[in-house]
Structure 1
Amino acid sequence: MSPASPAPQTPPDRPAGRPRLFARGTFLEHSRTAEILRAETTGGLLLIAGAAIAIIWANTPWSDVYESIRDQRVGPSSLHLDLTLGAWAADGLLAVFFFVAGLELKREFVAGDLRDPRRAAVPVAAAVGGMVAPALIFVLWNLGGDGSLRGWAIPTATDIAFAVAVLAVISTHLPTGLRTFLLTLAVVDDLLAITIIAIFYTSDLDLLFLALAVVPIGLFALLVQRRIHSAWLLVPLALLAWALVHESGVHATVAGVLLGFTVPVLRRDGREDARGLAEHLEHLVRPISAGFAVPVFAFFAAGVTVGGLSGLTDSLGDPVALGIVFGLVVGKTVGITGSTWLLATFTRADLDDDLSWVDVFGMALLAGIGFTVSLLIGELAFGHGSTTTDHVKVGVLVGSLTAAVLASVVLRMRNRVYRRICELEERDTDADGVPDVFERDETS
């Protein structure tokens, strides 16, 4: 099918009631997804700006100034919190990012479209496939390497902010079902990445501090379950929980996820058209996460001295870097597209009427943009400041950029089809403000 050809139509012999992949959700979920993606677009653009400034600065004659700022130690040494600014960004600011991820995860599985197992099956299968395939490719590239296999999880993460920013730049009119798929895939991907960090990248576990961390987390949970959300009470408890989890040896970002999981999603009055506490806190904290925490982390994490074309060639000569590049570009694409196709084949589900498999392929390429969590796992795997960590950064940057360029080519070719689909969906709107297409879906 040519890129500008009309979207596939429903086969006349399709059995009634057969499930459809990437069908649009409810109008409330559609509106909420659009709001989140707008926020993530802004954050993604700031993330790209922060990373670009760091890369450029680190490859100028003033690179030592950048490194001295990044390695400046701040904090009380008596509490083992005399960390570098780079470590504060990775351990502290990213905890804010993972708190938002925890809120989003809980909401999606309690009140979002993922509470329906049939809808959840697609992004869950795609996220699992999109993690297994890159990990296998990385392992194959690094078999026999001295300690290199410790980085197997680096190419498994998708950076939703970066991916959405790319979509904003290429001005693609993405169909509702695929927009929701991108967001929910990233939600499940975050859950798997959090699990990987907690299980495989935790060393020197101190059970006493971990047990002590339960106290502030429990008090935080008690307050939010009673719908008490005063910042004067919650923020000190969150900081104490973070510090204790940090001292326990578990990566401190896990504290953010655990705190997010404690927040109730549903309202006591049962209204589904109004914000619950989880969505309220997410609305308050997401701008801090997307607009400050993640871009600052990108600024401190992405600065690597490449050393010109020869330095780039040397970095990409490391099997670790090549495993990351091929894992992100090939592994993500094969894993997500393949798992989705297998799910469709074995469940006899049909692709939504407005879409084609080219769209799924383009989205799978876009999911190959791994940045925030990939850089974090790279430092956890090989340590801060090591030569291998620098090669990891080059691999993540090259792989993410390659995936972004390829995805842009595919999705730009589909742009006219997307525009026509969006116009068709939103053409007819009743006085209630809900496009007719959503009402037809709910009654069909």
Structure 2
Amino acid sequence: MTGAPPHRTDRLFERGTWSEVRRVADILRAETVGGALLLGAAVVALVWANSPWASAYTDLTNLRVGPPALHLDLTLGQWAADGLLAIFFFVAGLELKREFVAGDLREPRRALLPVAAAVGGMVLPAVIYVAINSASGGPLSGWAVPTATDIAFALAVLGIISTHLPAALRTFLLTLAVVDDLLAIIIIAVFYTSALHLLPLAAAVVPLGLFALLVQRRVRSWWLLVPLAVVTWALVHASGVHATVAGVLLAFTVPVLRRTPGPGPGLAEHFEHRLRPLSAGFAVPLFAFFAAGVSLTGSGGLGAVLRDPVTIGIVTGLVVGKCLGVLGATWLVQRTTRATLSAGVSWWDVLGLSLLAGIGFTVSLLISELAFGPGSTHNEHAKLGILAGTVIAAALAALVLRTRNRHYRRLREAEEADTDSDGVPDVYAQPDAPGPERGLSAG
């Protein structure tokens, strides 16, 4: 007679399935390259905006192209923010849906930690920003600016640090950022929709429904899907809701599981694989190029920037609020569930990740423009606050994680030494560890 299985204590940051670890590794490689391009685009924009040819950069950003119909006569900067970032949010929506339908996060106990950390990492920065600006008479409309984490930028920093961060911690950071993006798009849709036009919004249901019908039938033909996606985007844009919301809505219609069991990716993973290079390598860097170009000496000079409660609130929110929010939420989950940290993981690692979460860029810049208006003094100061907060958070994260690098390297070398001829580390084949045989089919 077989005895009852031994009691298994829940662990935070435990290993996922081997298939999930490999998939996340592929995503992280793509995002790391995208982060390097993002960083390069931001540097080029900053240098150009502070050069003798700054007026040419401004003229390029404000150049209007597009038809007046449906309010599509936009500047290049607006096309980057409203159009290109819709691709970014489409990919983020696909990733989020896949994580909760077929990924390791389909298990509530696994989903609890990154979701709680994402919420904590958004609430506390907003509270800090509101407190600082309320006390100083600053505008409260920018409360959401320091709430977003830029995963591409964060992973680029990890690449520069050359850390051997364990796969479970990298997965946590990626998932936290994906949930963060979803919460950010909800904030944009709810709090930064100034005027709502119901007719185009209702009309958007038609192409969205046709898109959903086709993808549910597993249609992959771009010449059918892309026009429907573009029309949906245009109608959502005309409704007054920020157009990037259309990207998330379209992504949520795409099925994750295969209709018939078998090898190969589901449709959501297929689209994600095709579009992630476009998002990380083109859409996001180009948006950063148009959004990050801010004069370091304009808008009243550096003294005015440093005294502005908008700048102070954003920097403090990103560096202090994000760190304490993520770290505090993780501690609360550990206390309430009585879970323990996975072997080899310490609270120093969680601190390093919490600091990395303070690297806000893409979505923060987008929310800043929505909150203060393009070209406004507060928006210029907010951009500088985002850049300063990101640099400070990255430097502190590098300081913490760098001290743990030797420990990470030993863990990875031990894991690679236990790899069989099938390429799967032995630890993923242990009975009590989630292995490839325990995961759902990609279909």
* Interval of TM-score (by shorter of Structure 1 and Structure 2): over 0.9
Is the 8 Å Cα contact of residues 415 and 427 (structure 2) preserved in structure 1? yes
Once the 2 structures are TM-superposed, how far is the Cα of residue 426 of structure 1 from its aligned partner?
A: 2.0
Instruction: Output aligned runs, 1:272-351, within 5 Å.
Output: 274-307=264-297, 311-351=301-341
Would the aligned equivalents of 1:44 and 1:161 in 2 still touch at CA under 8 Å?
yes
Q: Would the alpha carbon gap of residues 309 and 195 (structure 1) be closer, same or farther in structure 2, given more than 3 Å must change?
A: closer
Partner residue of 1:389?
379
How many pairs are equivalent? 429
Corresponding residue SS for 2:178: helix
Alignment partner, residue 440 of structure 2: none
Contact 1:26 1:442 survives alignment (8 Å): no
Residue 89 (structure 1) aligns with: 80
- Residue type at the aligned position of 1:325: V
Q: Secondary structure at the match of 2:430?
A: helix
Deviation for aligned residue 1:310: 8.3
The Cα of 1:275 is off from its aligned counterpart by: 0.7
Is 1:376 matched with 2:366?
yes
User: 2:252 is matched with which residue: 245, 256, 261?
Assistant: 261
Code of the residue aligned with 1:303 in structure 2: it is G
| Residues 116, 329 of structure 2: 8 Å contact kept | yes
Give secondary structure in 1 for the equivalent of 2:256.
coil
Q: Distance in 2 between matches of 1:254 and 1:134?
A: 23
Aligned to 2:112: 121
1:146 deviation in Å?
Answer: 5.6
* 1:361, distance to aligned residue in structure 2 (A): 0.2
Aligned to 1:8: none
1:248 aligns with 2:239: yes
Secondary structure, aligned partner of 2:134? coil
Instruction: Find the counterpart in structure 2 of residue 152 from structure 1.
Output: 143
Contact 2:95 2:178 survives alignment (8 Å): yes
Contact 2:31–2:155 (8 Å) recurs in 1:
yes
Give me the whole-angstrom Cα distance separating, in 1, the residues matched to 2:433 and 2:180.
Answer: 32
Native 8 Å contact 1:102 1:260 kept in 2 = yes
Q: What TM-score comes out, normalization by structure 2 length?
A: 0.95
Given the superposition, is the C-alpha separation of residues 306 and 265 from structure 1 closer, same or farther in structure 2, using an over 3 Å criterion?
A: same
Question: How far apart, in 2, do the equivalents of 1:416 and 1:339 lie?
Answer: 27
Which whole-Å CA distance do the structure 2 matches of 1:123 and 1:313 have between them?
38
AA aligned opposite 1:302: A
The match for 1:6 is none
Tell me, yes or no, if structure 1 residue 367 matches structure 2 residue 357. yes
Percent sequence identity is 68
**Offset of 1:178 from its aligned partner?**
0.2
Residue 174 (1) aligns with residue 160 (2): no
Task: Please give the alpha-carbon distance, in whole angstroms, between the structure 2 residues aligned to 1:117 and 1:74.
Answer: 47
TM-score (norm. length: structure 1): 0.94
The answer on 1:224 being equivalent to 2:215 is yes
User: Contact (CA 8 Å) 1:126, 1:335: kept in 2 or not?
Assistant: yes
d(CA) in 1 for partners of 2:386, 2:112: 28
The one of 96, 110, 128 aligned to 1:105: 96
**1:113 to partner: Cα distance:** 1.0
1:311 shift after superposition: 2.5
- Which stretches in structure 1 are left out of the alignment for 5+ residues? 1-14
2: CA distance, partners of 1:348 / 1:441 = 23
Question: AA paired with 2:145?
Answer: I
Counterpart secondary structure, 2:204: helix
**Corresponding position: 1:215 with 2:183:** no
Q: Which runs of 5+ in 2 are unaligned?
A: 1-5, 435-443
Q: Which residue is equivalent to 1:404?
A: 394
Asked if the contact 2:36/2:153 (under 8 Å) is kept, the reply is: yes
Q: Say which is worse superposed, 236-245 or 140-149, in terms of deviation.
A: 140-149
